[in-house]
Each structure stands twice: as C-alpha cells, then as structure tokens.
Amino acid sequence: MLSHQETQNLAAQRHYDTYAWCSQRAWIEIDIAALSHNVRHLRRLLSPRTQLMAVVKADAYGHGAITVAQAALEAGASWLGVATVPEGIQLRESGIDAPILILGATHTKEQIQAIAEWQLQPTLCSPQQALIFSTALETIKNPFPLPVHIKLDTGMSRLGTDWEQAAEFVQLVQGLPQLQIASIYSHLATADSEDTTVMKQQQARFESAIAQLKALGITAPCLHLANSAATMGDRSLHYDMVRVGLAIYGLYPAPHLHHTVNLRSVLQVKARVTQVKTITAGTGVSYGHTFVAPNTMRIAVLGIGYADGVPRNLSNQIQVLVRGQKVAQIGNITMDQMMLDVSNIPDIQAGEVVTLLGKEGESEISANDWAEKLNTISWEILSGFKHRLPRVALM
C-alpha cells in the first residue's frame, strides 16, 4: 500500500495530468462513466454468485491500467487479470489490493519472488512449472502457501496442461505444501463465432476434467472459462467467475452479440490541427505522393501519426470527425502527422480539435471501423496506441 504522502503525490500528478492535456497535440480520453456503465450492465448478466474479473492487461487494452482497474472495481468487478508480473506490480504500487491473476506463464525465481512479495496469483500451466514454483518458494522461505490457478488446455492449444491430464496435474499441485489451488480454468478459442460447435466441445472437455476431479473427491474452489464473448452469449459458461476484457471497454467481440447487453464506448482519440493550407490541382500530398489533389483544395495537418499508434496502412482509407462531420484523411500517414481534406469545413483553424476515434453528435468512428479496413481485430487497434498519447480520465 502507498503511504499517505505517496497517495497525495499521486493525486497531485493525476490532477496535473487531467489539465495538462489541453496543451497536447494529441491525446486519448477515457470515459469513466461509460466504463462503469459497462461493468454494471455486464454484471447483470451474471448470477449473484458469479464474480467478474476485469482484464486490464496491455495497459487495459490501451486505456490506462490503473484508471481502468480502479473504476472497474468500484463498479462491481472483484478480480483483475494481467498478462505479466510487472503489470501486476504496477497495480499494487497504485494501492490496489484486489486479487490479481497473472494470465501469462512465469518461471524464473525472480518472477516467483516478486509474485509472492506483491501478493499476486500466478497461472500454472504444467507440472514442471508447479515444481519450479515449489522449489523457488522453499528457497525464499515464503511463509504462506501461494494461491495458484490451474490452466487446462481444452482446445486453444496455447498455455495449459491437456484436459485429459487434469487429475494428475491437480493432485501433484495439491501435494506441494507451498502451493494452494485457488481456481481451475481454461480459455475458449471460438467464443465469438456464431457456430458454437468448438466452444461446446471445449466446455464438454472442461466439465469432463472437473468430473474426473470430483470422482477423486477434489472440488475446485473456483471455476472459470468465459471471456467477453462467452459471458455475453451463453450463461452456461459463467461458472464461478467470468474474465471480461473487450466488453468492459465498450466494444462487442462479434456483431451477433450486440443485442445481449447495452455497452458504451470508453475510448476516444483526439488531436489538434497544427496547420491549414490551400493546395492546387496536381499537388502531391505526403511521402510518395499517394494522393494528388484533383482540384484546388484546403488541407489540414493533424498532430498525430503512426508513432502514436495510428497504423500507416490506414493511409487514404479512413475518415475523422471535424465538427461532427466526417472528412477524409489523405496521403500517407507519417510518424507524427497526417493530412485531412477540409475543403468543406469553413474557417477551420490551427488548434481545432479533431476526433479520430469516438463520437461527435450523430457521427461515430470506432476501433472496429479501423480493424475492418486492416482485416484485423479491434483488440489490436486499441492496444496499439502508444504512451506518448496522454490518457485523460473524464468523469
């Protein structure tokens, strides 16, 4: 926990950060009310006994891990999920004391020592990893059994022990006094698909593994399987906890899930116009002259580029919002800047704010729109925004 002085210093820094954005060329706004709304509405899908884990890995999908974690916990989440040990430590250093699950694999003595010191909870993926943890905890003389989470591979073919070896694995961990099983879980590979065949197969494998354990008199204190899509699409997958990432940020994992819950987008990306100029017909714009003016036109230079996380491959493909009106981005997006066709925006001046992702009036541009252009997913768009874009929490 932070000292009183450290807490005051952190509060002062946040106060500064909130107001310093006005001098920035570009920034990201985080709507805390929307985030809280999403958590509350997702909780309504769950039974009272089912907990909600807010997945805040990758700096909360680019939204700012500390801000998001605090808001999610206040709105009804009871667990946090991260990918790495440093991500968990960052949350602890901010004063957050909720249980934190490390979803990635950890093996080194230094990682294990940090996990114990900061009261984080690791995922165990294999018997070999369990033995490494046991030996390391003996060496550092950890005074209490460490809560660990058993990961089973039911068809993702990523981390985890094969579900058919679940009984062996769990019995091994139970025999290690330095470890205490906190949950057993798996991860779904196709939960966002309308075809539920593979998802149901994974669920059947998960339940078969749990049944094998019960036959041996072993009852897991907590079971969890559902990600955002499964949480929204199938209540039978909720078990004791759900792990929700994308949905708490206001985006749907798939179009067919839109009807399940009312979500509000949390993130907006904004930048300022840095110069406005008129160019004549035949004038090339930006590197490579991939756009050539067909006639006299007015263009605006915007202070944001691919070094901020706007993919260069979106060049000449996207629109942005200026005064609620969609205008085209033209020419190649550069490291720090991009150009817009503002011929139809009267009297636009340097310093005016433009929305790249977000909503103005009735018009909206989402991470899904960019993802479709790039044949990728919204998760990649959100987690790609760089840290030189300040995150500004709006209450």
HEC readout, the chain: CCCHHHHHHHHHHHHHHHHHHHHCCEEEEEEHHHHHHHHHHHHCCCCCCCEEEEECHHHHHCCCHHHHHHHHHHHCCCEEEECCHHHHHHHHHCCCCCCEEEEEECCCHHHHHHHHHCCCEEEECCHHHHHHHHHHHHHCCCCCCEEEEEEEECCCCCCCEEHHHHHHHHHHHHCCCCEEEEEEECCCCCCCCCCCHHHHHHHHHHHHHHHHHHHCCCCCCCEEEECHHHHHHCHHHCCCEEEECHHHHCCCCCHHHCCCCCCCCCEEEEEEEEEEEEECCCCEECHHHCEECCCCEEEEEECCCHHHCCCHHHCCCCEEEECCEEEEEECCCCCCCEEEECCCCCCCCCCCEEEEEEEECCEEECHHHHHHHHCCCHHHHHHCCCCCCCEEEEC
d(CA 39, CA 302): 34
CB count within 10 Å of CB 184 equals: 27
Q: Give catalytic status of residue 270 as yes or no.
A: no
First to last CA, the chain: 25
Q: Which of 57, 151, 249, 306 is catalytic?
A: 57
What are the φ/ψ torsions at residue 141 (nearest 5 degrees)? 55, 50
Q: Which residue type is seen at 67? A: T
Contact 100, 94 (CB under 8 A): no
Q: Considering only CA atoms, which of 13, 18, 64 is closest in space to residue 386?
A: 64
Q: Give catalytic status of residue 185 as yes or no.
A: no
Q: Which of 19, 214, 277, 287 is catalytic?
A: 287
Catalytically active residues are: 57, 287
